[in-house]
Amino acid sequence: MSLPTFYTSLKLHNHHEKLPLKLHSRFSISNSQKPDCQFSQIFQANQSVAAVVFGEASQRSRLYPLTKRRSEGAIPIAGSYRLIDAVISNCINSNITKIYALTQFNSTSLNSHLLRAYSGGLLANQEFLEVIAAYQSPEDNDWFQGTADAMRRCLWVLEQNPALEFLVLPGHHLYKMDYQKLLEEHRNNKADITVAVLDTIKNHNTGFGSFKVDNNNRVIGFKDEIELMSFIPLSVNGSKFNNGFHEKFSSMGIYVMNRNVMIKLLNESFPKANDLKNEVIPGAISLGLKVHAYRFGGYWEDMRSIEAYYEANMESTKKTNMKYNFYDRDFPVYTLPRHLPPSLVTNAVITDSVIADGCILNRCSIRNTVIGPRTRVGDGAVIEDSVIMGSDIYQSLSEKNINGGDVKNGSIPIGVGEGSFIKKAIIDKNAKIGKNVKIINRDNVLEGNNESDGYIITSGIIVVVRGAVFPDESIL
Amino acid sequence: MSLPTFYTSLKLHNHHEKLPLKLHSRFSISNSQKPDCQFSQIFQANQSVAAVVFGEASQRSRLYPLTKRRSEGAIPIAGSYRLIDAVISNCINSNITKIYALTQFNSTSLNSHLLRAYSGGLLANQEFLEVIAAYQSPEDNDWFQGTADAMRRCLWVLEQNPALEFLVLPGHHLYKMDYQKLLEEHRNNKADITVAVLDTIKNHNTGFGSFKVDNNNRVIGFKDEIELMSFIPLSVNGSKFNNGFHEKFSSMGIYVMNRNVMIKLLNESFPKANDLKNEVIPGAISLGLKVHAYRFGGYWEDMRSIEAYYEANMESTKKTNMKYNFYDRDFPVYTLPRHLPPSLVTNAVITDSVIADGCILNRCSIRNTVIGPRTRVGDGAVIEDSVIMGSDIYQSLSEKNINGGDVKNGSIPIGVGEGSFIKKAIIDKNAKIGKNVKIINRDNVLEGNNESDGYIITSGIIVVVRGAVFPDESIL
Amino acid sequence: MSLPTFYTSLKLHNHHEKLPLKLHSRFSISNSQKPDCQFSQIFQANQSVAAVVFGEASQRSRLYPLTKRRSEGAIPIAGSYRLIDAVISNCINSNITKIYALTQFNSTSLNSHLLRAYSGGLLANQEFLEVIAAYQSPEDNDWFQGTADAMRRCLWVLEQNPALEFLVLPGHHLYKMDYQKLLEEHRNNKADITVAVLDTIKNHNTGFGSFKVDNNNRVIGFKDEIELMSFIPLSVNGSKFNNGFHEKFSSMGIYVMNRNVMIKLLNESFPKANDLKNEVIPGAISLGLKVHAYRFGGYWEDMRSIEAYYEANMESTKKTNMKYNFYDRDFPVYTLPRHLPPSLVTNAVITDSVIADGCILNRCSIRNTVIGPRTRVGDGAVIEDSVIMGSDIYQSLSEKNINGGDVKNGSIPIGVGEGSFIKKAIIDKNAKIGKNVKIINRDNVLEGNNESDGYIITSGIIVVVRGAVFPDESIL
Amino acid sequence: MSLPTFYTSLKLHNHHEKLPLKLHSRFSISNSQKPDCQFSQIFQANQSVAAVVFGEASQRSRLYPLTKRRSEGAIPIAGSYRLIDAVISNCINSNITKIYALTQFNSTSLNSHLLRAYSGGLLANQEFLEVIAAYQSPEDNDWFQGTADAMRRCLWVLEQNPALEFLVLPGHHLYKMDYQKLLEEHRNNKADITVAVLDTIKNHNTGFGSFKVDNNNRVIGFKDEIELMSFIPLSVNGSKFNNGFHEKFSSMGIYVMNRNVMIKLLNESFPKANDLKNEVIPGAISLGLKVHAYRFGGYWEDMRSIEAYYEANMESTKKTNMKYNFYDRDFPVYTLPRHLPPSLVTNAVITDSVIADGCILNRCSIRNTVIGPRTRVGDGAVIEDSVIMGSDIYQSLSEKNINGGDVKNGSIPIGVGEGSFIKKAIIDKNAKIGKNVKIINRDNVLEGNNESDGYIITSGIIVVVRGAVFPDESIL
């Protein structure tokens, strides 16, 4: 995509003296807040917003093999949650309850989770979480080609919603934000677009580029870290570009766009753009739209790697000063409700760990570990510094042979067998760890791909793939 | 109510030779299976049945003070369940999904539980759990006077259901039964009424009396243990009363009644009877209706006392050979789905215990104990042989003073404080146990009522009442 | 705020002759907004409120026989709704989604409706409609004795809710009100209690008495129309009683009470008071609490008689200038969602009528009539100026004889038979009108009780009772 | 059962020229009912089955332009339903409540419908309708290439279900079938695969080919009508091919497959096959698997054309002898529950029509027409022999200009304007028909594509596309 090359002496917003004609007509209503004002009398503040959540980071996830069968948003975290629960809970806690989730990549488990957790329990026709999975149509046989393409192709759905602002959210970040504050700042600044940026973590490669802002928090430039483009030079709003105080903030990939701005950008200004982050948003800046930066100062984690994911889980086992509090009643984290029995513990020493429900823990020692739902741990097992995702089902004996009756594997039940020792590992769901297995990274491998053997090693963390089977006495 | 005094030479069912005329007209259709046959073509077997569950044992519960604010069916058990979940789960697992729950005594928490757990998630207009709370009407200003009275007053609701059989179930028993087998036997025997009886536990005072049955399992007499009435002598169906082989079985309070039989018994035969167990059912036997006994051989517990309730909870902490299995996938136990975070365990030695979700367990030792949802246990606390019901809410600091700000109590948060020691106790919900409290029955009291101090002792078990507060250093 | 300094010889309702001085200290926090301020940082405005809806007017309803089997709130209105839907929809549209419904009188259908319509579909643990049916407890075996008694006995439930304001609502009125405006005025005036009053309809006997207010809309007196008491004379807050401008407004029975005010009034000031309207609220005025009047100017109908109910239904058939708009997307009316097929119309002339779904209308003429769900109308029937509530079920032929097989009635299906003529009538649910029946009030009776014949006449309107049967050729 | 002993020179679909002998051993368990028997003790009959519903016929729908924005299964029918409701209702009425819906083509509205209508209201973790939208994965970036490919790629999901039989169902047919009877016959015949065939409609091109069956209803050949292939000649099971009595039946595209058979066919025998109908199923026949034909004799409509769709709608307006009964209580048709108000009819003559809820019909004449939800018809309008799908929203005046404010179109509200005349037309949702518009096919066109003008004509039926706008006085 070719961005506009230069826009000298643009004086946009409020007192546009020399607005180029062609731009003028394109965005004739972009800065007019009249429709908004008009509607703010009809819709309550929180009703005027709809959220668009992207269920996955991208096809090539940095969290493979956790993303082999699921998108990033569907990865289990902290025992009972999926990563996307954090963002959806932010929406609900911010009283934004018109949510579209756009999914495409390995979307089955994400769709299922979203729908079971959120769709059934919202208010009739007024509140909803609607999952829009990528689809073929007579007009377009292709997959979504990016965030902008996805939104453009879903515009016919989004336009049916009378929302005046659309809040675009990546679904795979862990943080707590009251989006109403973001919206308030957006409205108070009469912005066309507001982007959320990291205030505290500087120069962080979030994958969404970074923005240069002036001292009114107006965005005046964008840089995509990946391509190491130089900032698009802009002289906006009469600000003296070289003299003003400018700061650079990493983008969180969160955008508030006014309805008409969004529609015109996608359909008219950049009808071929595939991505929001490095095509539409930078384009909007170049066009001189009023793009405001909302600085966010709280905890934020983007699970950019297996290591970051591992650390976020370890964080959840801390008793105090948790960076992300799953136990906060005033800003709760929602997820799929469960009907599991309580965990049955025969004789365990458990230290600094979280234990989900439905587990059966026999005489074992668990330290600094996240234990997911329905996990079974056998006698004498020791688990340290690990994430055990648990099991989707209770396996009954009769059931072991349904799928083919492989003797070797069939005899190993889901869970962690007797006498096994697991240290610094992530065990994906439904893995079958036999007896006296050692998952300890014996050879201190830092990076290694043994996927065909059921695991990979990254940053020294062993990741056991979903459903992998480790016979008795295995050592890795 | 005065029961019929004598019925000599009645020969009912099948080959009624000398059926008294007045009875004949009363029950002219009672043994005719024609309507059933006709309808069995329209309704599937499981659709022809509706269940009527009684939410509470009676006003004077043997489980006080656990029933101070709730009926017996609503008592928490095994960490995550309510007692009534066992019976409702039996219904669902037996594919009986038209359920009426009749409640009256301390029904608020039971109603709330039933509706949140079961009402929302059943099939449209075809499956339901409908709670019928006692109500006043122009015709009757009074409370339900007993099970028969309750059903009679709800007949206008029950009659709208085209069910051909009604399955009456007490809601406060712990057992697993496939009711379809009971119904099958009922139909195969072309019975008017089938009662379930305990096959293995002999002479148990279930509170529902006991039945004398002949060698075809036909009921030929009833005895109410409470009143120690002698068995009603009957000569039914030509059986030689004195010579035949007879056995006495304890009633489980479970009755299958054919639709028309139920209506006629309640409205015409015994229009003033208040109770099913010692008025309507014995009356039906006396009238010569075909009452069949279904012998049930499994585990059954009626929570007849605090001690029995305590033992049932202890049973749930066993690893193997549980009498009642909460972890059985093929016959699961349903309950209210929860959104709680996993339990956070700082440093605990846990032995033979069940741990519900949402708990925060610090450096503590837990042995042979049921820990309910959201339980907080402080550093150094030791809990043994106990049932901790947990908390309804996460208490935030700011919240402690909402309700009046009592300094002494307000400063003690819900949960078990640091250094406290609890042994052989039942701690009801939301209790606030301070630091270094000892709940150990120091004086080895067997029975004692200290309700004003927040506890009673029964059979040597200390029962701490809901919401009770024990300041630091208390010893009891 | 300065509290009243002396209370000499105040004559309060019921019994308190000399209000004790210490009352002053009792309410020391009543007007302090400190707790509110403190909490407003924690809870959002709409989260700080819980609604308490009373499901029924009283035991002796003015709408008999429509209330024979249901409470006033459960009466069908406008084809697809129940009366209580109006108030619950007000709550939802005002973003008040923590609702307690207190019921007791003929509550079965109301409970069922509320739970099916609203309980399943609200947000997890944060939003709810909780039905509290009257219940017996060890402490109190009696029914609720009035609104104040009901709230006092449910205080243990209400207190668990951290709401800072409780909004008390009668459930049987038809109106649209944004309760947030009421609450805003309550907060802006730092009132202890705010009452809603009718601004436009003067001297209307609402059943809730009327308030005298000063020119700041502060309430300074109460009069119960029933007892025709003179206004309680008050000198409050230094207002010059005789000189100020005073107005009298009819109460709508809607009260906002601050949490602590509510608790103290019910438990300490008037622990024996049964009613809010003529005991607690007047008492609060007498105690000098700051009671504010919120004047409501919109349409409001209290269904004080069969005639008023009839007129409200006729109103719903108007095309334009409806006083109460069921078709307003921005303030929708919620109700139980239905799965009914569309109405099938063979050959009908329909004029100024509303037709619910699932009806089967053959060659008939319908004018100025409300046709409820599943109504069947036969060939040649004429219905004018009437309310047909419809049927709860589709009756299949095989089913007619389930309940006893009365030949005469059994042969008449639910609905309106061929050739029948109905004019100015209310036909309750499941009525069976045979062929060529005339329900036309032939003798121009104004008032008549023929309940045993299946109808009563009031204000010249024929009311056919639920399930009544009229054989072919009947004329009334 | 004796498996086929030799497979000389079988010509299978695609490529396998000489079926390898080892296939025999591959399917060693295929006809053994042992696993089934074993499991039938654990699972109830209805629990052992899972349904796989295909949401759409194919990308190139014969029902364009109704499928412009939706798949065939999502097309509205009979006023209140979507086409797929028929099949899902069959499942529920057959007590098959583990349903996977596989979607890909224009799936948004189908997914949304399925999830709102069915997902929220099923039993906890035991019953479900799970929508699996096509997705990209690391292993496969492509769309589903056909029914077999779709099932193969979802096998990892299906295999998690312990079902022993999988029932494959096209989602766009209109019929009522008790699938339990189909399954019973499948089990009684110990078949590997059972296919449903049309018993009454001979030689119908269903799009699924046709089967040749012997006099035991065993399938012995397949013919794809499209390719006009000759029947695959087979000598199976010792049947004397030339002498037996053979019949040819059209396939309904409905297949029951035993679990292991399905897995082996998809993964091992035909790992490259894309389609079930003309690759996997014919292949299974060729392999000698026991394929049984279940003959279905009821009404069945496959919506193979706009004309067929039109006729099916006209059928629903018939009073008696409906071929497909939407009003049958014993076999109800489920759909999305709605909260719409009843229809408001000012002055209409309605003949042989169905009227959904939420309509506003002014002084108009409606004959032989299906009127969908929220339809508005203006004064003097006449609608005959048509299908009006209705509107998704109530349009408020203020709203008309949200999306751009096109004066010409914006002034025409959704619905049918005053004085307009519509005859033999299908009006898709949200169309805006101005005043005095004539949609009458003035020129008696039989086929015509005027999509850019908002309509096409097929078989003389005018189809107005979704959201099309016809200014006042338009004639077509």
CB neighbour list of residue C190: distance below 8 Å, 6 or more residues apart: C1, C31, C33, C290
Q: Nearest chain C Cα to A39, which residue?
A: C330
Confidence of residue A111 (pLDDT cuts 50, 70, 90): confident
Q: Does residue B65 carry a pLDDT above 80? A: yes
Instruction: Identify the chains in contact with D, defined as 3+ C-beta pairs within 8 A.
Output: A, B, C
Q: Is residue A475 a part of any domain in this protein?
A: no
The nearest CA of chain C is from the CA of A182 a distance in Å of 16
CA distances from C45 to A47, B255, C33, D291 (A): 16, 52, 14, 66
The nearest CA of chain A is from the CA of C118 a distance in Å of 9
Same domain, C286 and C355: no
A98-103 vs B210-213, strand pairing mode: unpaired
CB contact under 8 A, B42 and D126: no
Q: b vs e for A244-277, b when ≥16 Cβ sit within 10 Å of the residue's Cβ?
A: eeebebbbbbbbbbbbbbbbbbbeebbeebbbbb
CB pairs under 8 A between A and B: 136
DSSP B399-447: GGGTT---HHHHTSPSEE-TT-EEESEEE-TT-EE-TT-EES-TT--SS
Same domain, B275 and B130: yes
CB neighbour list of residue A326: distance below 8 Å, 6 or more residues apart: A78, A81, A316, A333, B341
User: In whole angstroms, what is the distance from residue A183 CA to residue A176 CA?
Assistant: 15
CB contact under 8 A, D124 and B121: yes
Same domain, B347 and B273: no
Same domain, C360 and C224: no
* Composition of chain A by helix, strand, coil, percent to 5: 20, 25, 50
Q: Is residue B103 a part of any domain in this protein?
A: yes
Instruction: List the structure tokens of C461.
Output: 């309107």
Same domain, B39 and B100: yes
pLDDT for the residue numbered D35: 27
pLDDT for the residue numbered D410: 52
The nearest CA of chain A is from the CA of C322 a distance in Å of 20
Task: Indicate the residue among A308, A327, A355 that finishes a domain.
Answer: A308
Q: Nearest chain B Cα to D329, which residue?
A: B126
Mean pLDDT within C265-290: 94
Q: Is residue B316 a part of any domain in this protein?
A: no
- Collapsing DSSP to helix, strand or coil, C446 comes out as coil
Mean pLDDT within B19-29: 25
Q: Which helix (H) or strand (E) holds B351?
A: strand B343-355
Confidence of residue D120 (pLDDT cuts 50, 70, 90): low
Helices (H), A189-278: 259-264
Which chain A residues have a beta carbon less than 8 Å from that of B393? 329
pLDDT in tens, B112-126: 888 777 765 444 446
Q: To the nearest whole percent, how much of chain D has pLDDT over 90? A: 49
pLDDT for the residue numbered D132: 85
Q: Which helix (H) or strand (E) holds C456?
A: strand C455-458
The nearest CA of chain B is from the CA of D430 a distance in Å of 28
What does the DSSP 8-state code read for residue D18?
A: S
> Is the CB of residue C217 less than 8 Å from the CB of residue C293?
yes
Instruction: List the structure tokens of C368.
Output: 């100025």
Handedness of CA B199, B203, B205, B210 (dihedral sign): positive
Instruction: Give residue ranges of C with CB < 8 Å to any A CB.
Output: 42-44, 92, 95, 97, 120-127, 330, 332, 334, 337
Q: Looking up tokens 């969180």, which residue turns up?
A: A252
User: In whole angstroms, what is the distance from residue A23 CA to residue A27 CA?
Assistant: 6
Same domain, C359 and C269: no
CA distances from C236 to B420, C195, C222, C265, C291 (A): 53, 17, 13, 18, 10
CB contact under 8 A, C124 and A95: no
Q: Is residue B57 a part of any domain in this protein?
A: yes
> Is the CB of residue A401 less than 8 Å from the CB of residue A407?
no
pLDDT in tens, D280-296: 999 999 999 999 999 99
Q: Is residue C323 a part of any domain in this protein?
A: no
The nearest CA of chain D is from the CA of B118 a distance in Å of 9
Q: Which of C43, C330, C337 sits opposite A124 (nearest CB)?
A: C337
CB contact under 8 A, A121 and C126: no
Q: Nearest chain D Cα to C347, which residue?
A: D351
CB contact under 8 A, A343 and B337: no
Q: Is residue A138 a part of any domain in this protein?
A: yes
pLDDT in tens, D68-96: 888 888 999 999 899 999 999 999 889 88
Same domain, B22 and B146: yes
Q: CB burial class (10 A; 0-12, 13-18, 19+) of residue D408?
A: exposed
CB contact under 8 A, C121 and A126: no
CB contact under 8 A, B95 and D44: yes
- Collapsing DSSP to helix, strand or coil, D87 comes out as helix
Same domain, A77 and A195: yes
Which chain B residues have a beta carbon less than 8 Å from that of A352? 345-347
User: In whole angstroms, what is the distance from residue D453 CA to residue C189 CA?
Assistant: 60
Instruction: List the structure tokens of C167.
Output: 């909004």
User: In whole angstroms, what is the distance from residue B67 CA to residue B57 CA?
Assistant: 10
The nearest CA of chain A is from the CA of C43 a distance in Å of 8
pLDDT in tens, A182-221: 999 999 999 999 999 998 776 677 888 889 999 899 999 8
C300-301 vs C174-175, strand pairing mode: antiparallel
Q: Nearest chain D Cα to C89, which residue?
A: D339
pLDDT for the residue numbered B243: 42
CB contact under 8 A, A111 and D105: no
Q: Is residue B156 a part of any domain in this protein?
A: yes
pLDDT in tens, B358-413: 899 999 999 999 999 999 999 999 999 999 999 987 665 444 444 444 434 457 88
Handedness of CA B287, B290, B293, B294 (dihedral sign): negative
> Is the CB of residue B249 less than 8 Å from the CB of residue B199?
yes
Instruction: List the structure tokens of D336.
Output: 């999305």
Instruction: List the structure tokens of D380.
Output: 């003097």
> Is the CB of residue C213 less than 8 Å from the CB of residue C231?
no
pLDDT for the residue numbered C24: 25
pLDDT for the residue numbered C320: 67
Q: b vs e for C371-406, b when ≥16 Cβ sit within 10 Å of the residue's Cβ?
A: bbbbbbbbebbbbbbbbbbbbbebbeeebbebbeee
Mean pLDDT within D370-387: 95
Range of the domain at A135: 3-308
Q: What is the CATH number of the domain that holds D458?
A: 2.160.10.10
**Residue count (chain B):** 476
CB neighbour list of residue C185: distance below 8 Å, 6 or more residues apart: C194, C292, C294
pLDDT for the residue numbered A123: 40
Same domain, D360 and D273: no
Q: Which of B104, B162, B403 sits opposite C402 (nearest CB)?
A: B162
pLDDT for the residue numbered C200: 76
**Which residues, listed in sequence order, are joined to residue B432 by a DSSP beta bridge?**
B415, B469
Instruction: Identify the chains in contact with A, defined as 3+ C-beta pairs within 8 A.
Output: B, C, D
Which chain B residues have a beta carbon less than 8 Å from that of C138? 59, 64, 67-68, 106
Same domain, D143 and D40: yes
**Which residues, listed in sequence order, are joined to residue D103 by a DSSP beta bridge?**
D133
User: In whole angstroms, what is the distance from residue C476 CA to residue C473 CA?
Assistant: 10
User: In whole angstroms, what is the distance from residue C247 CA to residue C295 CA?
Assistant: 11
Give the long-range contacts of residues A143-146, CB within 8 A, separation 24 or more: A143/A104, A143/D136, A143/D141, A143/D143, A144/A102, A144/A104, A145/A274, A146/A273, A146/A274, A146/A275, A146/A276, A146/A279
The nearest CA of chain B is from the CA of A252 a distance in Å of 26
Q: Which of A337, A346, A349 sits opposite B337 (nearest CB)?
A: A337
pLDDT in tens, B195-222: 999 987 766 778 888 899 998 999 998 8
pLDDT in tens, C45-95: 445 899 999 987 665 678 889 988 888 889 999 998 999 999 999 998 898
Same domain, D304 and D344: no
Alpha carbon dihedral D220, D226, D229, D231, in 10-degree steps, equals: 10
CA distances from A112 to A55, A108, B382 (A): 12, 6, 42
Q: How far is CA A51 from the centre of its chain?
A: 13
Tally of structural domains, chain D: 2
Higher pLDDT, D402 or B36: D402
**Which residues, listed in sequence order, are joined to residue C349 by a DSSP beta bridge?**
C365, D349
CB contact under 8 A, C92 and A44: no
User: In whole angstroms, what is the distance from residue A52 CA to residue A100 CA?
Assistant: 5
pLDDT for the residue numbered D400: 42
Which chain C residues have a beta carbon less than 8 Å from that of B69? 137, 156
Instruction: List the structure tokens of D14.
Output: 């695609």
Query: Position B410: which residue type?
Result: G
Q: Looking up tokens 């309580």, which residue turns up?
A: A342
Mean pLDDT within C4-33: 28
pLDDT for the residue numbered C454: 94
Which chain B residues have a beta carbon less than 8 Å from that of C339? 124-125
Average pLDDT, chain D: 80
CB contact under 8 A, D319 and C344: yes
Confidence of residue C196 (pLDDT cuts 50, 70, 90): very high
Is the bond preceding A65 in cis, omega lying within 30 degrees of 0? yes
- Collapsing DSSP to helix, strand or coil, C195 comes out as strand
CB contact under 8 A, A343 and B354: yes
Instruction: List the structure tokens of D75.
Output: 């097309």
Q: Looking up tokens 């058939």, which residue turns up?
A: C317
SS3 of A417-450? CCCCEEECEEECCCCEECCCCEECCCCCCCCEEE
Q: Does residue D12 carry a pLDDT above 80? A: no
Higher pLDDT, C155 or A46: C155
Q: How many CA atoms lie within 13 A of A335 on its CB side?
A: 25
The nearest CA of chain C is from the CA of A45 a distance in Å of 12
Which chain D residues have a beta carbon less than 8 Å from that of B123? 92, 97, 121-123, 127
**Which residues, listed in sequence order, are joined to residue D258 by a DSSP beta bridge?**
D165
CB neighbour list of residue A403: distance below 8 Å, 6 or more residues apart: D159, D263
Q: What is the CATH number of the domain that holds C26?
A: 3.90.550.10
What does the DSSP 8-state code read for residue D218?
A: B
Mean pLDDT within B230-238: 44
Q: Does residue C29 carry a pLDDT above 70? A: no
Q: Which of A43, A44, A337 sits opposite C124 (nearest CB)?
A: A337
Same domain, D142 and D282: yes
Confidence of residue D129 (pLDDT cuts 50, 70, 90): confident
ipTM: 0.77
Which chain C residues have a beta carbon less than 8 Å from that of A129? none
CB contact under 8 A, D131 and A121: no
CB contact under 8 A, D121 and B121: yes
User: In whole angstroms, what is the distance from residue A30 CA to residue A54 CA?
Assistant: 25
A165-170 vs A49-54, strand pairing mode: parallel
Helices (H), D290-432: 306-315, 407-410
pLDDT for the residue numbered C395: 64
> Is the CB of residue D339 less than 8 Å from the CB of residue C334?
yes
pLDDT in tens, C337-346: 777 889 999 8
Q: Which of C125, C136, C154 sits opposite B143 (nearest CB)?
A: C136
**Residue count (chain D):** 476
The nearest CA of chain C is from the CA of A180 a distance in Å of 11
Query: Is the pTM here over 0.95, yes or no?
Result: no
Q: Is residue D210 a part of any domain in this protein?
A: yes
**Interface residue of B40, B99, B127, B128 to substitute, partner D, most D CBs within 10 Å:** B127
